[in-house]
Amino acid sequence: MRYFRCIFFVTFFLSFAHTLSSQVPGYLGKRTVIGYGFNFHPALAGFSMGYSDNPFNVKHEIFIEHATRKATMVGANVQFFKYVYNNTEEVDPTSTGSYYYYDQAGRPTGSYEIRANNFMFYNKLFHRTYLAPWGRYFMIGAVYTRYTAEYRSSEMFFQGYNSSGRLATFSNFGAYRQTYQTGDIIMGLGRSRVFGDKIIFDCGYNFQLISVVKMAINFLALGEPIPMSTYIQTTSSRRISATNRFNFYMKLGFLF
């Protein structure tokens, strides 16, 4: 994690360092944008398989961007998203320590909630004929993600026969609130337009490299029972990767 934090801050400082020696026209001299962004991608497969009640993964963000060179911007944003996971993965019964039927795995009941924040620093590199913050660009940056999974043992549990042959309820998935963090590299392509010389509309798509790789690995492990103690960690990490891997976005900002 320390490694990701390092990349994160180096990117941030390098982005600003080159402003010192450059000429920056901006858009009519305006170089900074603050605004709100809406990220989404269709999650139809997950929706049909029952992972989620929502056919779209949605993230909201607030951002600030600043033109540091003629065709370069640095930006930072905070993204928020919430996800209710419907426990579609199975628990490895042996991990309970007292399970009777060793060959029978099962899904926990109910669902649990994931709340996540992405903190992102990025550079927008504009096509040479455009001027930051207006025009077509390629973006690249570092993402630091912090997410919390929270479950209620009264709602999320796993039932089975224990070693004494009695029906028992297993609900110990670890702490009720579990917090994790991860890092990623983001890349994307977009295009921004300016309306009335003040309002900026930015749209495009991006993907996070590590999440894409993780998704591929997770796909191979799909269906394998997960030990109870790591059930939330594993499934929440998968959902975070699935949500972050690829997104379309639309942003509305104020230019000044």
Interface residues toward another protein, by CB under 8 A: 23, 25-29, 70, 129-131, 134-135, 193-195, 197
Distance CA 40, CA 58 (A): 4
Minimum distance, C-beta of residue 195 to another protein, in the bound complex (Å): 7
In the complex, the smallest distance separating the C-beta of residue 23 from another protein, rounded to whole angstroms, is: 5
Residue 25 or 106: the one with the smaller Cβ distance to another protein is: 25
Longest dimension (CA), the chain: 77
Task: Please state the φ and ψ torsions of residue 235, each to the nearest 5 degrees.
Answer: -70, -35
Q: Which residue's structure tokens are 């607030």?
A: 62
Nearer to another protein, 2 or 128 (CB): 128
Phi, psi (rounded to 5 degrees) for 232: -70, -40
Q: How far apart are CA 235 and CA 163, in angstroms?
A: 27
The CB density around residue 181, as the number of other CB atoms within 10 Å, is 14
User: Could you tell me the smallest distance in angstroms from the CB atom of residue 78 to another protein?
Assistant: 27
Asked whether the beta carbons of 40 and 87 are under 8 A apart, the reply is no
CB nearer another protein, residue 30 or residue 245: 30
CB of 194 to another protein, least distance (A): 4
Residue 20 or 167: the one with the smaller Cβ distance to another protein is: 20
